[in-house]
Amino acid sequence: MTVPQILYVSAFLLILIGLYSLLTQRNMIRMIIGLNIADLGVNLFLVTIGFVDNGSAPIFRAQAAAAGPMVDPVPQALVLTSIVIGFGVTALALTLVMRLFVTHGSIDTARIRGLKW
Amino acid sequence: MRKLIGILLIGGFAFYLITVGMGLFSAESRSELDSVGSEILATSPDLSGAANTVTAVVVQYRGFDTLGEVTVLFASALGVSMLAMAIRDGLLQDLFDDDGGFVLQAGSLALLPFIVLVGIYIVLHGHLSPGGGFPGGVIIATAVFVVILTSKTLSIPRGLINVLETLAGLGFLAIGFVGLYSPAQSFLANILPKGEFGSLLSAGFIPVIYAIVAIKVASELINIISKLTAAGSASREAAE
């Protein structure tokens, strides 16, 4: 297997693990952790799309002008955005869980009436 | 039953991913770029003057998106503030009764200037090396977070932080409008002189934008953290 293939498989596995924990966990903090794992998988997938054989980081240096190919900078910039948005979503979700604990006294979805499935 | 349904759904999704991603697995790995990335790599040094192409993409090519990104972060901080303000329960009361002791408190205060220094370094070199406004801002906020974690009686100047956050947001917009009314006539046009390629004072407005983004991110994070901890220790504040 080549490096990108290993990274694609890892990214898909991370997404699947995250979604599985979102579906099966009842503790909301664990669901948020699952969301974060899936988020990581998506980020890894995006970065891997820009991979180039023997590519270096897309940073120009003054001396070594022709030092070989560089990887794609666009997915990396997108992932930078994605990480920040992921942080915002996580902070908001954790605050919602805090609020839910105050109003319902539990963060177990099975014990909160109206959230059971 | 839950687990079975979960496994079935995930299995279906895995099948979908395998079908969609089959082309990715079978394709030979590339030796050179053929997408918009190669075009950006070719034009970025002349157009933006930034040695770090990722920074050039974030601030120069997709500056408007970065404004949107900062707005999303602001909306999230606003939501956290509104939700945390309604919590008056003292969820983390045990945490706040235990103040960490003298060594941790003095150590966190001694660490604070150094962490802030590292953050400022990362912000200012965002156009030369990996880093920039977002990670640098988070590092600066971390310095305050360490103090909040260890100290029981830290009063955060909320007013000052709110003013900084507002000024940073308005500054970003102001730079955008300066570009709009300059001869370049486009929002967020890079009109400042580019300077010598690869030096600290280069890349036009990119370090300025990143400094503004860092101030905004740091103040928003400090706001979120202080609001959440204040919600956790509300009854203590009420008792005093």
pLDDT > 90 in chain B, percent: 3
Structure confidence at residue B98 as a pLDDT band (50, 70, 90): low
Coil/strand/helix, residue B95? helix
Which position has the higher pLDDT, B134 or B182? B134
Residue B22 or B134, more confident: B134
For range B132-156, the mean pLDDT: 81
Q: What is the pLDDT of residues A53-97, one digit of tens each?
A: 777 777 777 655 556 777 788 888 889 889 888 988 998 998 888
Q: Which residue of B76, B87, B89, B138 is the best one to mutate when testing the A interface, meaning the one whose CB has the most A CBs within 10 A?
A: B76
**A77 contacts: CB under 8 Å, gap ≥ 6:** B54, B57, B58, B62
pLDDT of A32 above 90: yes
In chain B, what is the straight-line distance between the N-terminal and C-terminal CA atoms, in Å?
A: 50
Q: Do B24 and A76 touch (CB under 8 A)?
A: no
pLDDT (0 to 100) of residue B238: 47
Please give the pLDDT value at position A39.
Answer: 92
Pick B13's closest partner by Cβ from A19, A57, A98. Answer: A19
The two three-digit tokens of residue B179, written as one number: 């570009």
What are residue B72's DSSP bridge partners?
none
Residue B240 vs residues A35, B95, B96, B148: alpha-carbon distances, Å: 39, 17, 13, 18
Radius of gyration of chain A measured on its C-alpha atoms? 19
Residue B150 contacts residue B229 (beta carbons within 8 Å): no
Domains of chain A: 3-55+69-104 (1.10.287.3510)
Q: What is the mean pLDDT of residues B118-141?
A: 86
Residues B226 and A71: their CA atoms lie apart, in Å, by 39
Handedness of CA B79, B85, B90, B94 (dihedral sign): positive
pTM: 0.81
Q: Which of B7, B57, B37, B32 is nearest to A78 (CA)?
A: B57
- Lowest-pLDDT range, A12-26, A65-79, B59-73? A65-79
C-alpha of A1 from chain center: 24
Which residue of A3, A96, A98 is in closest CB contact with B91? A98
Residue of A80, A97, A99, A101 for testing the chain B interface, max B β-carbons within 10 Å: A80
Return the pLDDT at A25. 85
Measure the CA angle with vertex B205, ends B199 and B210; round to 5°: 90
B25 contacts on A by Cβ (under 8 Å):
5, 8-9
Decide: A110 and A116 in contact? Cβ < 8 Å. Answer: yes
Q: Tell me phi and psi for residue B202, to 5 degrees.
A: -145, -175
Q: Give me the amino acid identity at A40.
A: L
In a mutagenesis test of the B interface, which of A20, A89, A94, A117 is the best target, namely the one with the most B β-carbons within 10 Å? A20
Q: Which residues of A touch B229 (CB under 8 A)?
A: none
Q: By percentage, how much of chain B surpasses pLDDT 70? A: 85
Complex ipTM over 0.85: no
Residue of A nearest to B232 (CA): A98
Identify the pLDDT of residue A40: 93
Amino acid at B80: V
How high is the pLDDT of residue A33?
93
DSSP state of B27: S
Q: What is the DSSP letter of B30?
A: P
State the pLDDT at residue A37: 93
